[in-house]
Structure 1
Amino acid sequence: MPNLKHNIKILFWVFSALFFSLIAYLTYFQIYERDKLITSSYSIYNKRLIEEEKKILRGSILDRNGIVLAKSVEVDGVQKREYLDGPAFAHVIGYSRRIYQQGNTGIEKAYDRELLGMVGNDPMTILRKLILARKKVGDNVYLTIDKALQDLAYKEMEGKKGAVVALNPKTGEILAMVSTPSYDPNTLGENWEEIMTSSEHVVLNRATQGLYPPGSTFKIITTAAALTYKPELYDKTFNCKGYIIVDGDRINDFGGIAHGIEDFKQAFYRSCNSFFIQLGLDLGSENLQTMAYAFGLNKGVPLEIDTVKNQFPPLEKRTSLAETSIGQGEMLVTPLSMALVASAVANDGVMMKPHLMKYVVDSISGAVIEKSTPSQYLNPISKKVAYTIKQLMIGAVNDKEGTGKAAQISGVTVAGKTGTAENPHGAPHAWFVGFAPAENPQIVVSVIVENGGQGGKVAAPIARDIIRAYLSK
């Protein structure tokens, strides 16, 4: 009998331990992991979420001025997602097709929980929604994007491959982000296979995931390194012969033009390759690499939607250092990254963290339940260095020999830098990065046109039109 009582006690404590462990396990997931598991956008086969989504009228996505860009409607009891400005916003907004087991992308993915009304909702808010709404309704996401500016950027890029990024350098708000060629997310149902396997890679967001040699826009970095680590180089002059030889390799200036004797300012305005190659050699690999890293060109940009990591190769040979000094070689960057480079110059050396969400609004009460606040991302250069580079970029646009003259706007001081990036797959890529008004920058624009040729002739006018339109408002 004593043994029986002893065994019963042991079984009691064993089952008690198992019971409380189960309670603790379930409590942990209910409190800490519930939302993550329920709303995981990474599993397109999450049947529970698919069934929940069928019961929820997905919230709308709007631009910064309250213009609806995406909304859900019911057709014969079935929810349908409508994209009101389809191709122009396809790469920013993305698509929501989880109920078809095709996943979510873009803002639809990043703010999935908000659009399903699963964030910031206390029990009373949920009850109010159930009482006031005929069915569960998701919350509305307002973007930093300006629809008019987005539409203009898309129109400027029609018929071209490339990307445009426009942002506010003081806040990091992205004002426009366009990638072309694009696709219409409204037609994904009937054209899924064709769109996903397109030889033009129409689903690729070239603004955040396209990797390109930056060409002469990188001379901003080379200049920053010189002014920071060896400021005496700013007073150097150089005799440009139209080419320079580095360890037996001949590297030509664009068109083989010999600029003759020139100082730092003239070399920047003209975008002289020979001058900047020699500048890079004088700087050394460590200084140039350190500055590139300070600008974030060795990593990806933190953003709500998917980005890729920039590629900055080790500069082990003098020829690699020479090529990199002018934005050539093996280095690859995204258009968003180059917009941020220009934004640091515009914002006294401080690079603000970019973002696409302005705020999230409760669909029933209209209360703001989430809001983005500006925050610093990087601080690669001093205010003094930023000021000097800004003056050089003003000269590149306004000087009679400047390569960026096509970006000039009457009554507005534009600062910019062109780039004509050679690549092994055809004609050079055309680049332009710039901002305005230079005295008090409100907008930064980065433009790349794949195989477009000269940046000053192709990319600069696109940036000019976008800057002018934004400032005219």
Structure 2
Amino acid sequence: AEHSDAFSGVTVETRTVRDYPFGALCAHALGYTGTPSEDQVSNAPSNRDIQLTDDVGKSGIESAYDNLLAGDHGQRVVTVDAQGNVVDVVSETKATRGSDVYLTIKGSVQYAADEALASLIAPGDGVIGTGKGVGGAVVAMDVRDGSIIALSSYPTFDPTNWVGGLSTEANNVYNSDSAHAPLQNRVTAGLYAAASTFKPFTGLAGLEYGFAEGRSWDCTGKWDGFNTGSPQWCWNHNGHGYLDFRGGIVNSCDVVFYEIAKNFFYASKSQGGNLSDTAIQEMVQRFDFGKKAGIDIGGEVEGLVPTPEWKATRWRNVPANATWTGGDYTNMIIGQGDVQVTPIQVAAAYGGIATGKIMKPHLLKEVRNASGQKVVSYEPEVVTEPDVDQRYLEIVRDALRGVVTENEGIASLFAESGIKAAGKTGTAEHTDKGDDAWFVCYAPYDDPKYVVATVIEQGGGGSAVAAPVGAKVMEAVMAADAGSNDASSMGRIAGSSGRQIEGFSTKSASRSD
């Protein structure tokens, strides 16, 4: 620039360089950037000038807050000679940098979640089949204000691959069947049967309508309350013996919930009773299942709480399958059948049980302009306060505390750290693949601050597989809460290798909660 006369036709420009020192850490929350599409250029917001040479956000925070992160190009009006050389600058507007977006994510917790999933699922150089399951998700949230402390989805991707444009080789890896959808954010877009994590919510319906409190049931391991000749099984085929409602949650006994479902069925209007055919669904919908949780990144899905009306529409061309039956009640009440939830919904809903309020989850903490001044601070938003009797909430909270303290394996996970947690396991069955493992917990039990929801696709039992991951992440959460958010303990997280052991199968023989 100082000797421009010696370098005719050469200009000096300042360019940005993207660097991801921790690789795939927090990849699904951060997202990635890329060349804008023609639609993005032609339909840019009124306050934004997008050019084909720009990088724009394509997913995650990069996309959600692209307008804040992007600056202005600036403009220079010049005169040139006949050869095209600049001879004079008529006017110039300097380019300006965008704002800085600060997130609620805590690095040490995010690393603990990302590392725990990778170590469990693909410990052998990122190859699926060397561990347990084929994918998974963990989300940690502050139940007091909805702040997302960690959002982890596995398999994951390395945003570095998008710098300069995604190569054909990387694109093929990410879209191969053996890679198991590393671009999918399983926290917000992964749909799963809720399994036994649903029981606290359906159990609240049982309490409200008088089908649970003060009763006891005998679990023999199988149940045929509708006399069909085809019994449904409890996950414990040997049976739990006599249990009350609390014992039903602590031991995750399916038979207890089959009995509650039977009461709802026979009391429903379709069977000549006075109770709504959707009484159970209406309770779980108070906790916003079947709705988007509202997190501030795109791609979130709604999930499904099945109803008689939904089933009639779903099977309108097969009338024999369109009737809502007692079996639909017993499947739904234990979170099986057609129930579909996302990890972010489950985390928010358990926050509702813990505190009586469901907060809108968010990743944005604050925005600062180019001068470093804070121009936006996120204001916590209460989405809803479920209309549930406080006494019934206390009954369920006590049972969830019992899950953690009275099940030896889970109790040992929290004993060393001294965390007073409450939680619930779940194991979702499939007919054609392995079980999904669930574990949800919140802590401290007597003064709830955080919730952690974990799911491992085709990983096996909730207690054995998901609970250790959830407990490890909760330990990192509480350590960060105590002031330890040490970046020196963080390492690089690898993106998907796209590989799976040939012939790998997760099909499991039986369910265990």
TM-score, length-scaled by structure 2? 0.71
What residue is the counterpart of 2:436 in the other structure?
A: 429
Please point out which of 369, 382, 394 is paired with 1:362. Answer: 369
- Ranges in structure 2 where 5+ consecutive residues have no aligned partner: 1-11, 39-55, 73-92, 122-134, 266-276, 309-323, 483-513
- 1:155 is paired with a residue whose SS is helix
Please point out which of 290, 297, 312 is paired with 2:305. Answer: 312
Classify 1:195/1:138 alpha carbon distance in 2 versus 1 (closer, same or farther; 3 Å): farther
**Match status 1:235 vs 2:214:** yes
CA contact (8 A) 1:406 1:456 kept: no
What residue is the counterpart of 2:155 in the other structure?
A: 181
What residue is the counterpart of 2:143 in the other structure?
A: 169
Residues 19-75 of structure 1, C-alpha deviation per residue, up to 9 Å, x if partnerless? xxxxxxxxxxxxxxxxxxxxxxxxxxxxxxxxxxxxxxxxxxxxxxxxxxxxxxxx9
What residue is the counterpart of 2:100 in the other structure?
A: 140
Q: How many equivalent residue pairs?
A: 381
What residue is the counterpart of 2:245 in the other structure?
A: 264
Please point out which of 385, 392, 415 is paired with 2:392. Answer: 385
- 1:145 is paired with a residue whose SS is coil
**RMSD in angstroms over aligned alpha carbons?**
2.1
Task: Show the 5 A alignment for 1:11-410.
Answer: 77-99=14-36, 104-117=58-71, 135-158=95-118, 159-160=120-121, 161-188=135-162, 189-190=166-167, 191-199=169-177, 200-230=180-210, 233-247=212-226, 248=228, 249-284=230-265, 285-305=277-297, 306-315=299-308, 316-347=324-355, 349-364=356-371, 366-380=372-386, 381-399=388-406, 401=407, 404-410=410-416
- 1:79 is paired with a residue whose SS is coil
Classify 1:281/1:405 alpha carbon distance in 2 versus 1 (closer, same or farther; 3 Å): farther
Whichever residue aligns with residue 217 of structure 2, its letter is F
Task: Report the Cα distance in structure 2 between the residues aligned to 1:312 and 1:391, rounded to whole angstroms.
Answer: 26
Whichever residue aligns with residue 426 of structure 1, its letter is K
CA contact (8 A) 2:261 2:329 kept: yes
- 2:24 is paired with a residue whose SS is helix
Task: Report the Cα distance in structure 2 between the residues aligned to 1:446 and 1:185, rounded to whole angstroms.
Answer: 25
CA contact (8 A) 2:359 2:381 kept: yes
CA contact (8 A) 2:421 2:441 kept: yes
Classify 1:407/1:282 alpha carbon distance in 2 versus 1 (closer, same or farther; 3 Å): farther
Task: Report the Cα distance in structure 2 between the residues aligned to 1:303 and 1:214, rounded to whole angstroms.
Answer: 20
Cα deviation for residue 286 of structure 1 reads 1.9
Task: Show the 5 A alignment for 1:430-469.
Answer: 430-469=437-476
Cα deviation for residue 407 of structure 1 reads 4.1
CA contact (8 A) 2:106 2:149 kept: yes
Which one is further off, 442-451 or 109-118?
109-118
Cα deviation for residue 192 of structure 1 reads 4.8
Cα deviation for residue 223 of structure 1 reads 1.4
> More helix per residue: 1 or 2?
1
- Ranges in structure 1 where 5+ consecutive residues have no aligned partner: 1-74, 119-132
TM-score, length-scaled by structure 1? 0.76
Task: Report the Cα distance in structure 2 between the residues aligned to 1:471 and 1:220, rounded to whole angstroms.
Answer: 24
Task: Report the Cα distance in structure 2 between the residues aligned to 1:464 and 1:444, rounded to whole angstroms.
Answer: 11
Task: Report the Cα distance in structure 2 between the residues aligned to 1:403 and 1:260, rounded to whole angstroms.
Answer: 21
CA contact (8 A) 2:57 2:64 kept: no
Cα deviation for residue 99 of structure 1 reads 4.5
Whichever residue aligns with residue 387 of structure 1, its letter is E
Which one is further off, 83-92 or 266-275?
83-92
Residues 405-453 of structure 1, C-alpha deviation per residue, up to 9 Å, x if partnerless? 3543343211000001102341111100111110111210000011111
